[in-house]
Structure 1
Amino acid sequence: MKLVILSLLALCWTCNGMIEHIPLPGGLLDCFSRYSQKTNVVDTVGESIASFCFGQYMWQASREQGLPGFNITREAYNWVQSLLPKPPSRRHVRQAVSPNLRIRKEYRRLTDMERANFHTAIQLLKADTSVAPSMYDALSAIHQGMMTHSAHGGPNFLGFHRVYLLMFENALRTKIPSVTIPYWDSTLDSALINPTQSILFTDSFFGNGFGMVNTGPFAGWRTLSGPLIRNIGQAGSLFHANDMARIVSSIRLVQITEPNAAVNSSLEFLHNQVHLWVDGQMGSLETAAHDPIFWLHHSYVDYIFELFRQNQRRFGIDPTSDYPVFVNNSMHTAMYPMGLAGLRNIDGFNDRFTSMIYQYEPSPGCSLNFPDCGSPYLRCVVAGFQSRCVSLDWTAAPRVSAIRQQLMNQVVQEQRMQAVARLSMMNAARAQQAQVTIQNQMRVSQQQRLLAEMRRQQALTKENENAGLDDPSEPTQVQRRSIQRRFKRQLKLNTFKYLPDPRGSQFMKGNLNINSNIQFQMLPQTNQNMPSNVQNSTDAPYISPPVMPADMCPVIPMAQGYQNTFNMNGRSDIKQWVYIPVKVIYQRPPTFNSYDSYPIVNGEVEAEDIYSPTAFRTMQNVMPKGKPASYSHCQAQESGAGKVYISSQGMNYMGTYKEYAVVDHRLAISVATAYVAVKSPQFGASQVFLNAYDSCGRICQPFCKLAGAQGFQRCSGAFRVTSSFPKLYGTNYGDAVTHLWQFGKNDICPTMQDDSIYIQFHCNFKESWPFGMQPQQAARGPGAAAFDEIEEPEVSKQPIVSNGPVNVNPTACHIGNGCMLSKGCNQCVNGKRYKCIGTCALYTSCQNGAHHIQSCPDNTIFDPDDYVCVPGMCPNNSKVWWHASNVNVWK
């Protein structure tokens, strides 16, 4: 009887599924539509578009939907606002540069004392609870969508963060007056083969980059969003020098800011990729400021912004007035309140910041004539005729990781054992030293004679050639080759490498082989550990890193886990989450060709491996051959194993979760499963956007079980999860596994319950647009104007008669959510806005022939004459805001 009940439950699993597909929200759809016209997935990494658009959507949605955030008291808010006095109301007239400016340097250019002071000032802000919950937390809590409206998604991105940085710097200087915010020039790290090994992620700088931060100046931090976490290098990308040069050489603000800048020239879009690269708290706009890396990253953005402004002046353009007239959101208009220190958006472009308060030291550079980068933590790399500064990797850091330290200890121990064996030979070695010196001198003399003989033979050959003698030439050439071989052999015999012995022996032959996989070259003992108080100087010694095993650093190890914050609506607790099983169907990447297993036909080895999709005619028509854009750091594992990340991002709650499935790059098609967490529906229905991409950033297509359809159908990736029966989730990871798999008795092999899976992702490397578009429309390319809304509710075309005070035009129609248009639903001009009659704050934005309902922020109303939101109050407004710039603050 029990088995029958379980069978019925399994069959009923999808009867009234508690996971159901929903359309993408209008704001997210608008962003995807805009980028479909800007670029395509062949030129731009798909995941970078998805994460950027969703981040912008949630920044606005958190305010409009009133999502819970990180609480801040009025006293704390007032303290933050007091960190920057309001400038004069009139536009600042450019003045001569003040002689007492603060100087912001690249992080690695700080002296050890300056860097220690900077770290100490941050720690003092974190420890000072006179402003609740602490001074640092109060500052970081300001950076969330509920409290700052124009910080992202438009041209004021640069002005807002310029002001925000200065407020933070002023707070630091209340603790240590000499401190300024350094900037992190991540182009110095992106040039590394493996940027995750940058010296910045050591305990002398940022601390560790994987998992919970437990080393460095911020070890053990507890932020408003839980323990400080990072997952560096698993998504996104660092800044690249060519992108920064493109931005600096632009002359108009509209060319480098949203929404009009090209993708590779949008400073905000590119800056978002660095957030993703660091991940953890930095991976979400709402929590990014909780990690101190945030301030250094944005300081570099501000530095690039300042270089751009200097270039504007060279072309006769006034940076203080070059503010775009057209913006995609009224909160980004020049005169809109910024929300910081009573400023307007245009005030962030005032000259007084860099003429009266601070300036930037140029980013480190070097040349062939001056190959010093001014820091012991940077080295000058010469490629052709170009030179650039590049960060040291962490193998040259004062303290190395536990794994590598263990390997180094093993090498030292082996050397010590060898040194003990050599002690008995010390006297004999010293006695032979003089003889070795004499032998070396004799070899040098022999080499000189060989060189002289070679030159004589070359001269003789030239004489013979000039005299037209053909017969003597061949013997001369043979003799010349013989002399060259003898010379090279002598050089090889005479090449010895002597390195100091850790036990005091004067000589030890170099390149000690411990085993076939690990080779180390011991460095002079004085340079094995970097001095703890090295000050920057032009004669700072370059410290070469030891030669480490090659297989330890090409890519992030497959076993490297992913640490989630488990933060939801400002609270970190795994009990708020439930787990949904997801299937991944992964096709072999078109660039993977290292399986190294080849068929043999008639004794001859064929060129293509046996698993190549192009080797079989039956597969050529069904396996796509596209090459979507990928992250520059993307590298294949030699084992063939790869990762597909699945992320869940809340649409009616603040919280993200990420997990990965391991797939096989070698096979034509492989299948894997993963379990991704979403908000538990016991706290109310959860609306979530699921997104999947491989480790190269290539987006996977979502397919789900739509009502009334057989099998899996193409869908948007947006879902609603409720607590109604049957439950298609596990209250924890263990429940999710046992729900998906049926375990029998007596060691019967577990069987997957396919009915338990509602969504699967197909990673097929097509070059079509993946975000909410139907396949036939995606094929039209990035310039296609049409953009399908999947399962969008039908708009009523019938006139609606209202019994209210508004006289309704007979041609009016109801859009939904209380919005009724007076000129009919078919009257839609792309880019135009329409007022919802009978309301003061609702309007629609026409995008690609469809109306999308928008709402003005609180304390503003829609002006039908100028088609923008302007300050004002709606009658009977249920929300009362105490601050004029629409900042919601809890007591």
Structure 2
Amino acid sequence: MLLSCGFMWSWPVFLLCLLCPRVLEAQFPRLCTIPEALESRTCCPLWRGSPCGFDSGRGVCAPHPARDLPKPVDYRINWPRAFYDSVCTCWGNYDGFDCGQCLPGWKGPHCMQRHHIVRKEITDLTDQERENFLSRLYKAKFSTSDRYMILTSRDTTVEENYTFQNTSVYDLYVWMHYYSAKSYAGSENNAAHRGPAFAFWHRVFLLFMEREIRELTGDQDFYIPYWDWTRTNHCNICTNQYFGGAGQNGHIDNASPFSKWEVRCHSDKIFHSFSFISKTICPYQERLIRNPGMDPMFKTLPTAEDVENIMATESFDTPPFDKTSRNSFRNKLEGFEIPLDSRHLNASMHNLIHRYLNGTMSLVPTAANDPIFMLHHCFIDNDQVHPAQRAQAYMAPFFPLRSNSFYWGRDTRSLGYVYKEESTARTATGRDDGVGLITKHNIGGYNSVWLDSIYIYTHTYIYTYIYIYIYIYIYIYIYIYIYIYIHIYTHTHTLLTKVRDIWLLGEIYGKCKSSRYSDIIS
């Protein structure tokens, strides 16, 4: 049946997804789910006949460095030590759990060709571009992933407790955010929010989803557009032309295909900690819900002026590197550090969008069920501690292993995409009628004022260069003056010439302090 948005609804695919059999003793990636992989604690799938494509020069199966800690009940900590001792380490521009893919920004049989895309603002897409994007989302929602499975058991201290299940490509994406956004036991912290890794984790998350949809559809230029919520004072994409207009009781209008969009894991919203959730797979129980602007506490969207204000913040992050950090670009962007003149007392920026949409998006762990989530985070990406967010901590649950620091110091061009300037400009306080804010996105990557502290912290060799420079400077300075001093008192017949030379050197170094020289010159 052809739907109003111009793409096809496939009930057979939908039913196939719902009826996928449960699989025990499995783990994602799918090729690491076999008993041999779990028993050997090795996730090094074959690529063209050798583990990690070793014979093709793509990577090697190697132990991953990790601290020796007791096996935690919450297996997200010290990722992926609860499951594997050895995983693929990819060389060069190769990537993927088996090193069979290219790093973001690269393509070709040997990953030597640059691959750049331009992420456009969603309302700037042509009708065909919009339909292509939405149809690919639908295919991802109702196509079982042949690359990954999701882990649905919580306690991994006993291997027999492992429970895993097939899932669609889109719901894999939903599950990964849920998996990382649930708090650790006894803590408010998690791997993806309320800390320095917030922006970088979501950047990798978006790249992961783009790549999985490219694998599914064969469209290597597929990308996620961004939603600039500063353009208007309402949700201008909450219409049937985009992601569905308002229906009854907060549901999506029946004329939109997204009215059939079922959500995963929304039913466990009363549980904040991952470890205390029931052991059953989160069933499909609810439809997508969205009531934009209907919560009296969160009736408006952030403005361009709000974004301008946080862009002036000098420090990327500040102690204690959590939601209580002050004068922190990251915390302001995430929306926990709220300006005194804010229209909202409980949320701003990123968090305010979640609250404003007032539905599925408002519960952060399961917010990715709403496809607007990815467009929202593309805009956050465009603008841009718990142990899981330290620089060298591995980002759960991605393969191959990538530390948070791997994405620090990389601009978006090196990852294969840039953002297209908007066709509709807007003022800082108004909408759609002035100089656009989009020109202020961090096009140079992380080389900006508010990231100086990260560069100093992570790249300590900068100090070494400074010390070497100081030592050389002092050495040359002392050597020249000693040489001249000796030369004066051993060659008195050239005293006046030497005094002139000394004075010139003193001018150069700004150190002409000797009364002897001054008396003679005068």
Q: Which of the five TM-score ranges fits, normalised by the shorter chain?
A: 0.3 to 0.5
TM-score by length of 1: 0.28
Instruction: Report which of the two has the higher share of strand.
Output: 1
Instruction: Report which of the two has the higher share of helix.
Output: 2
Q: Which of the pair has more CA radius of gyration? A: 1
TM-score by length of 2: 0.46
